[in-house]
Amino acid sequence: MVVSSQSNLSQYEEKTQAIAQELILATRQKGNIFSRLKEQMQFDDKLMNWTMSNPGLRVQLFRFIDALPALQSKGEVMRHLQQYLTAEEVELPNELKGLLNFTEPNSPPAQIAASTITKAVETLAYKYISGETIKEVIKAVERMRKEKMGFTIDLLGEAVITEREAESYLQSYLDLITQLGTQAQKWATVPEIDTADGENLPKVQVSVKLTAFYSQFDPVDPDGGKIKVCDRIRTLLRHAKEYGAAVHFDMEQYNYKDVTIAILQELLMEDEFRSRTDIGVTIQGYLRDSEKDLRSWIDWAKRRGNPITVRLVKGAYWDQETIKSRQNHWHQPVFNQKPETDINYENLTRLLLENHQYLYGAIASHNVRTQANAIAIVESLGIPKRRFECQILYGMGESLAKAIVKKGYRVRVYAPYGKLLPGMAYLIRRLLENTANSSFLRQNSEEKPISELIAPPSVTPLTPLTKGGENLDNLNKGGDDRDSLNKGKESLDVMTITKDKDFNPAPDTDYGREENLSKARQALTKVHNQLGKTYLPLINGEYVETETYIDSVNPSHPSEVVGKIGLISLSQGDEAMESASLAFKTWSKTPVKERADILRKAGDIMEARRHELIAWMCYEVGKIIKEGDPEVSEAIDFCRYYATEMERLDRGYNYDVAGETDRYFYQPKGIALIVSPWNFPFAIATGMTVAALVAGNCALLKPAATSTVIGAKIAEILVEAGIPKGVFQYIPGKGSVVGDYLVKHPDIHLIAFTGSREVGCKIYADAAILQPKQKHLKRVIAEMGGKNAIIIDESADLDQAVAGVVQSAFGFSGQKCSACSRVIVLNSVYDSFVERLTEAVKSINVGDAKNPSTKVGPVIDATAQARILEYIEQGKKEGKLAIQVPIPETGYFVPPTVFTDISEDAVIAQEEIFGPVLAVIRAENFDHALKIANGTDYALTGGLYSRTPAHIDRASKEFEVGNLYINRGITGAIVARQPFGGFKLSGVGSKAGGPDYLLQFLEPRVVTENIQRQGFAPIEGADN
């Protein structure tokens, strides 16, 4: 079936075609921008052409361009160029081969080549960037005005991660408005852009991003973000009014869309701003819910009584939105194919322009048909000139813009300005668009038939990608329109990324949607009303009274009792063992399908109770909502993944020969003791427990004392899921008493432990002792922590690196075995990294875990608090205290703390602290950095921020960790995708969530049978 926009726009189609014919012929006149491609090109033009013809070169060259601004010498430039462009998938043009035809990056030929390539990239950048200074911007906009085009100026920069940067962002716009506004007083009026329908229009316009006004802007905290953001927006709007400037608000990633709309609709209804018509907002046509949003703006504008402008764009983050939605297993918010976006865009154009009395329309596109369609609607409806304009990007679509100006319509140029480094992400988007197969600019430059280029967009069924990915180039088809990375890509949904089709990972919650925030708030209230209840051990299917009780308290407010917990005695421990031994006889013979289905049902119950479970973690262990959510997903994934894995293992293996069958299969070990931690109280406890159960073992869960209520919730879920009596038992108790006793119990077959190195080593030693009447050797699975490092080299993207280190070091107050406690920074970028890191940490909000603005909550208890504070005092002796964040007066809080100039053998660089303390270590070079990283007793997680291929390759091979993360944070492993676990003194056993984890809970067996009888044996394939 072919779907087209023509059915909805038939009344405008004839006029659209006529106008499009006229405009496209104008873009192909001799001397325009496209004719350059047929003439002798400069080196920067050749770079662009080469990328069009070689997909492998395109990817590697753009990666190199991304890294280029960070490279500090010509030698480094050529070293990186060589590494990127000598990859196997790259076919180099002869001229580029000539540039790389040297062996020493610092040789004179290399220096010349470095200058050539750097100049070419800078030239490319300045085609799309209006200037690095306001003075240069003024010259650029004055040239635009001579061409009878208006402008809107956008300050380059993709990430604001510190409050200092947010304040600087605001001040930069205030300065920009001041200087442009002052200069504008000298400009002669250009009727085509400065007036419309007898109304004077602002000569100056700026475009801003909401997220840049507050470093901690987060959809999970809409109210807190609104307070900060609105305060700064008010300052900006007042200043803009003083200088006669218009302000337009850009739209960013989908995650921020709903909260951005909510903030702007509320703010612009305030009495001070309600009458302003010099304000604009943006709608992205590649979003599936963009029509709903536009209708929301129309209804809002009717209530407001004064119009604002809506800039209609295709959308700038197609790749990012697609990747993020797939990684999180969310519904994809963007259309899969470019024609789908084009159809939606034309529908939005009609809806917007047909409501021109409420909202002014700004049609932002380089696609001739798109602009022609808008003009056709304007002419058909007789829309006044004030209520409509066309927009293009600086450096793109100039000939189209001139043709539109010639037809008498207002054109505005979206012109970014700023330094090359923060502008690199913007440049890459522009290059992707211009070199994409589906780019209108490219297709028009190649003079494809006009009838094809201006035909109504239509969607045809997708062609699935081939197994080997040969059609992946289709994924790079570029959107050609303003601020667009909407690439008309083949749907990623046709690709299979999970090897086992029966395992579907649980999606995390998208807190960018108000309905999910509402569920989170309701769950916190519900759980708060249940605090203080008593929870008893579960032994042989019954909840039993105990002699001893403890209080589990809220670490944010230690006076608040989360629950009273009954602790088992040694005699009750014996009862649990006896019932488990009896239950094992039946459970071990229960079909694997039945055991697996119980796990799947448990996963479904967890999904249904997701928000409640997150709230329990928030109250009992001080975990913020956004960190509790992926933990619930992980627990669900453990249930579903291990169920699928056990069914796979249950099939066994056959290796038969003539006259003999050889069968390899598994049987459960026996009784498993699960000793789980408090830092991942739900996911890790669930994972170890259900792994034992699905393998046919009976399991005794002894949770950490500080997370016993959450352990009780796991028991509730497994009972509800149908686990038989005695098969699973919940046995809270003192580790030094009941824990030690059960570890040494002769009927325990395996111990699964996650916790401290001290306790883990003791369990390992005690389990190795053969007890009286014990007829087996105990298996110990132990994860015992880490001293994890992230390396930052000279080519790193510091925006990513600083944000990743902050999250990895201070997420859950550093109380993760995978947390970053050391960051090793190469000398050349040490000072700049430390400066940004310090400011980023200073911007962190510390407080009660249930407050949506909190990024760092409490530590688990008073003992942990005192121990971490002792390490902080030690750090003051070993290095420089760079930053320490203020904390609340009550609760078990420890200030997020950064020490710099720490030696690699310092105490805080070697010992696991398990708190929000980060040591920054200087490295002379990459060899030194790897030596420091590997110089501890642990080997759990590690990270590298680098855009140097050789460094990435070396780290993959030489960085001694079980889980290495490159150019991302080092916490948050995902079941099946990132099986988790380390070696050295980080633990023993296979990786949790991996294909060999269940093998530790099983005994492999082989049965060989001679099937000959008197010389006769069945022969496979023989005739009957």
Q: Report, as residue numbers or ranges, the catalytic residues.
A: 783, 817
Question: Is residue 314 within 8 Å of residue 482, measured between CB atoms?
Answer: yes
Question: Is residue 627 within 8 Å of residue 812, measured between CB atoms?
Answer: yes
Angstrom distances, CA of residue 1010 to CA of 508, 659, 997, 1018, 1023: 52, 6, 33, 11, 22
φ/ψ (deg, to 5) at 823: -120, 125
Question: Is residue 674 within 8 Å of residue 642, measured between CB atoms?
Answer: no
Question: Is residue 197 within 8 Å of residue 384, measured between CB atoms?
Answer: yes
Angstrom distances, CA of residue 255 to CA of 95, 832, 844, 876: 43, 29, 20, 40
592-608 and 708-721 are packed helices; what angle lies between their axes, rounded to 10 degrees? 120
CA 558 to chain centre: 33
CA 154 to chain centre: 25
Q: Which residue has the tokens 């109250």?
A: 619
Rounded CA separation 318/165 (Å): 26
Collapsing DSSP to helix, strand or coil, 643 comes out as: helix
Q: What kind and span of H or E run contains 671?
A: strand 671-675
Half-sphere exposure of 78 (CA within 13 A, CB side): 23
Rounded CA separation 776/86 (Å): 56
Rounded CA separation 338/315 (Å): 11
The encoded tokens of residue 542 equal 């019954």
CA-based angle 822:828:831, to the nearest 5?
A: 65
Rounded CA separation 112/120 (Å): 12
Question: If we measure between CA atoms, which residue out of 926, 931, 915, 694 comes closest to residue 816?
Answer: 915
Rounded CA separation 817/827 (Å): 28
Q: Rounded to 5, what percent of the chain is helix, strand, coil?
A: 45, 15, 35
549 contacts: CB under 8 Å, gap ≥ 6: 534, 564, 565, 566, 567
Beta bridge partners of 3: 459
The encoded tokens of residue 800 equal 């990513």
CA-based radius of gyration for the chain: 32
Collapsing DSSP to helix, strand or coil, 609 comes out as: coil
- The DSSP secondary-structure symbol of 40 reads P
CA 98 to chain centre: 39
Question: If we measure between CA atoms, which residue out of 941, 834, 919, 825 comes closest to residue 872?
Answer: 919
Burial annotation 714-725 (CB, 10 A radius, 16+ → b, else e): bbebbbebebee
Q: Is 532 exposed, middle or buried (0-12, 13-18, 19+ CB in 10 A)?
A: exposed
Question: Is residue 348 within 8 Å of residue 294, measured between CB atoms?
Answer: yes
